[in-house]
Amino acid sequence: MGEFVHNEVVLQVRDLSFAYNSSEYILSGENFTLEGTGLTTILGPNGSGKTTFFKVLLGLLKPIKGKVLVNGEDVTGNPLAAGRLMSYVPQISNLRFSYPVTGRELVEAAVLEKQKYRGHKCRDVVEKYIKAVKAEEFVDRKLGSLSGGQLQRILIARALARETPILLLDEPFSGIDPRGREEIVSFIQKLSREKMVLLTTHDPVLTLNVSKYVIVFNRGIKAMGSPRDVFRLDLLRKAYGDGVLIIEKCLHILA
């Protein structure tokens, strides 16, 4: 890291609506603009539509209406155009790696896909991203044999190797023990100094204090602002319902 700092990037969401079927809207005319580097946490309970939201941003799902613009370019419903500007780290709990691929091969494939580097230069770039996520010790093992935290690092390295200004991380803490979570939080914090990073989580405490913005999400954006603005019971209840309490500034989810 350190080589590419994407200060100029702008992500605009304009009047964006999406539904899998007419009775279940996941996005209803959403609007926001994010500019420059920094972390945005998209906070919402399980099943609230966070992954769907990312898939619409990535052009993998076509919205019913509205637009996604990156640096002014319309990438709506266009995964090729969106993929040149955004990289996605999927939820590891949704993945099964039964094929015999190593972490290094996965990162190499991402570097080769860019067609920017060849030969020695390609190997150096792969090595740089493996080091960035501290995956040297396990990068030559098959993906199926890695722990959740190790796999998460490899997937982040693969996304970094695509060298896009925006990085989307879907539930990067799911299936990871508390110590691993802390390490990933501090890694993401560093990463967000150089890129625009959006992450989804259903756990409000992990990244709240290291986020530039927080989006409270449940079938649409219920609130958006700085962590201080959003860490309010009335706003959090819009996503989590009544089963949420703040006791001495610590959030507790009871249901």
Ligand X SMILES: Nc1ncnc2c1ncn2[C@@H]1O[C@H](COP(=O)(O)OP(=O)(O)OP(=O)(O)O)[C@@H](O)[C@H]1O
CB of 139 to ligand X, least distance (A): 27
Question: Applying CB under 6 A, which of residues 4, 7, 8, 20 lies at the interface with ligand X?
Answer: 20
Site string for ligand X, 82-111 (x = CB under 6 A): ------------------------------
Query: How many residues of this chain bind ligand X (CB under 6 A)?
Result: 12
Binding flag, residue 52, ligand X (CB under 6 A)? yes
Beta carbon nearer to ligand X, 47 or 243:
47
Selected from 11, 30, 34, 49, the binder of ligand X by CB under 6 A is 49
23 interacts with ligand X by CB under 6 A: no
Residues 140-169, one symbol each (x = binds ligand X by CB under 6 A, - = not), give ------------------------------
Mark residues 188-227: x for contact with ligand X by CB under 6 A, - for none. --------------x-------------------------
Q: Which range of residues in 28-36, 45-53, 114-122, 153-161 is near ligand X by CB under 6 A?
A: 45-53
| HEC readout, the chain | CCCCCCCCCEEEEEEEEEEEECCEEEEEEEEEEEECCEEEEEECCCCCCHHHHHHHHCCCCCCCEEEEEECCEECCCCHHHHHHHEEEECCHHHCCCCCCCEHHHHHHHHHHHHCCCCHHHHHHHHHHHHHHCCCCCCCCCEHHHCCHHHHHHHHHHHHHHCCCCEEEEECCCCCCCHHHHHHHHHHHHHHCCCCEEEEEECCCCCCHHHCCEEEEECCCEEEEECHHHHCCHHHHHHHHCCCEEEECCEEEECC
User: Which residue(s) pair with 67 in the sheet?
Assistant: 14
Among residues 17, 51, 78, 147, which is the contact residue for ligand X, using CB under 6 A?
A: 51
Using the rule CB under 6 A, is 48 a contact of ligand X? yes
**Which residues contact ligand X by CB under 6 A?**
20, 26, 44, 46-52, 171, 202
